Amino acid sequence: MAAPALSDRPSPLRRLAAAEGDRRPRARLAALALTALLLVICVLSLGVGASGTSLPAALWQAFNGEEIAMRDRLILFDIRLPRLAMGMLVGAALAVSGAVMQGLFRNPLADPGLVGVGAGAGLGAILAIVLGGLLPLALRDGLGYALVPVAAFAGGWVTTVLLYRIATREGRTSVAVMLLAGIALAALAGAISGVLVYMADDSQLRDLTFWGLGSLAGATWGKVLVAGPLIGLALAATSFLAHALNALALGEAPAAHLGIPVQRMKRLAVVSVAAATGAAVAVSGGIGFIGIVVPHLLRLIIGPDHRLLLPNAALLGASLLLVADMISRTIIAPAELPIGIVTAVIGGPFFLWILLRNRAGLDL
């Protein structure tokens, strides 16, 4: 079952991936390397920022029993650490969701946006920004600035449930109907968003623009605590999907003959992607490209086996987003570049380069 399409044709990839058939040793190596990479990036990320606060200096102070200066403590524990945690969660959520969607739809272009989560979450956020002022005062004050994330999550969730209902008939979910209905729902959500943008005033428009570009700058422990369990649960659930997604690569009927509970598996896949992406989009805005680049990059190196692909995608997605965030917060410090711009600028050309080098071997 491992690597069916890639290994039976001659290509430059063959040299890259010398291991025919069984690439598990290579994948295990990759997992080790990616874990090490993520650890290094985490340490770097804690040490890098607009201010001169240095991690080693603070640790040294703590080690010597000295009091760490209040400002340094705040920057390390209330700004950089929640940001690090959120970056890891969001990066892992986007990358794994992308890999699951591509496996489920057997389509290399699939990403969470296709099941309407992206558009629905966007619509929720826009509703909150533009019409939030109309809410009863008590409700608005109760939610505070959690209003936009909560609305984004609700929007993504509602769209996904709706889509699932549309695509399910007599207990069977049609992946093709889901794909097409997803496009239709995304267009509808886009249209409603358009109406709201038309109604928005000047300052709301500017808020919308910045939300759309995505940022981890608003990371707080509160947001991490809300998004963390959701994303964590969803990612844990996807680990039960790996075997089924592998079987599904052969088609739905063969997968069912292999004893895979196809229907239940599809439901689990959609629900976990909606939860992970909805939570990620809600706390960080629209961050593109991670869900496409990370899974494809990994497939080129370790092959398409989802049992290896999914955990590695989580590791690489987290690392990539943290690196992008480090760039975003230092390149024009003390100001900050929206992270969506950074992921697109470094992700786009890099992905093209990989594609050009390996286009003969890429066949999902």
Least distance to another protein, CB of residue 252, Å? 45
Which is nearer to another protein, 8 or 141 (by Cβ)? 141
**Contact by Cβ (8 Å): 65, 327:** no
206 binds another protein (CB under 8 A): yes
134 binds another protein (CB under 8 A): no
Using CB under 8 A, pick the residue from 162, 217, 256, 341 that binds another protein: 217
Which is nearer to another protein, 300 or 322 (by Cβ)? 322
84 contact partners, CB below 8 Å, separation of at least 6: 42, 45, 46, 322
137 binds another protein (CB under 8 A): no
Least distance to another protein, CB of residue 216, Å? 9
Long-range CB contact pairs, 37-41, < 8 A, 24+: 37/315, 37/319, 38/88, 38/315, 38/318, 38/319, 38/322, 41/319, 41/322, 41/323, 41/326
173 binds another protein (CB under 8 A): no
Look up residue 67 and give its DSSP letter: P
Least distance to another protein, CB of residue 51, Å? 3
Q: Residues 265-304 vs another protein: string with x where CB under 8 A?
A: ----------------------------------------
For residue 10, give both structure tokens: 């001659």
Least distance to another protein, CB of residue 83, Å? 9
The radius of gyration of the chain from alpha carbons, rounded to an integer in Å, stands at 21
Residues 77-96 binding another protein (CB under 8 A) are: 78-80
199 binds another protein (CB under 8 A): yes
DSSP for 68-103, written as a single string: PPHHHHHIIIIIIHHHHHHHHHHHHHHHHHHHHHHH
Look up residue 363 and give its DSSP letter: -
Residues 323-362 binding another protein (CB under 8 A) are: 329, 332-336, 338
**Contact by Cβ (8 Å): 187, 143:** no
Which is nearer to another protein, 171 or 334 (by Cβ)? 334
Least distance to another protein, CB of residue 49, Å? 5
Using CB under 8 A, pick the residue from 207, 237, 344, 363 that binds another protein: 207
Q: How far apart are CA 90 and CA 287, in angstroms?
A: 9
Using CB under 8 A, pick the residue from 203, 253, 259, 356 that binds another protein: 203
Q: Which stretch binds another protein (CB under 8 A): 54-62, 152-160, 206-214, 290-298?
A: 206-214
Which is nearer to another protein, 67 or 170 (by Cβ)? 67
Q: How far apart are CA 299 and CA 283, in angstroms?
A: 28
DSSP for 261-324, written as a single string: -HHHHHHHHHHHHHHHHHHHHHHH----SHHHHHHHHHHHHH-S-HHHHHHHHHHHHHHHHHHH
Using CB under 8 A, pick the residue from 7, 160, 215, 319 that binds another protein: 215
231 contact partners, CB below 8 Å, separation of at least 6: 89, 90, 92, 93, 275, 276, 279, 280
Least distance to another protein, CB of residue 219, Å? 8
Q: Residues 49-78 vs another protein: string with x where CB under 8 A?
A: xxxx-----------------xx--xx--x
Q: How far apart are CA 104 and CA 266, in angstroms?
A: 7
Handedness of CA 283, 349, 99, 237 (dihedral sign): negative
Least distance to another protein, CB of residue 332, Å? 8
Q: How far apart are CA 332 and CA 324, in angstroms?
A: 13
Contacts with another protein: how many residues (CB under 8 A)? 34
Least distance to another protein, CB of residue 333, Å? 6
Task: Note the residues at the interface with another protein (CB under 8 A).
Answer: 49-52, 70-71, 74-75, 78-80, 144-145, 198-203, 206-207, 210, 215, 217-220, 329, 332-336, 338
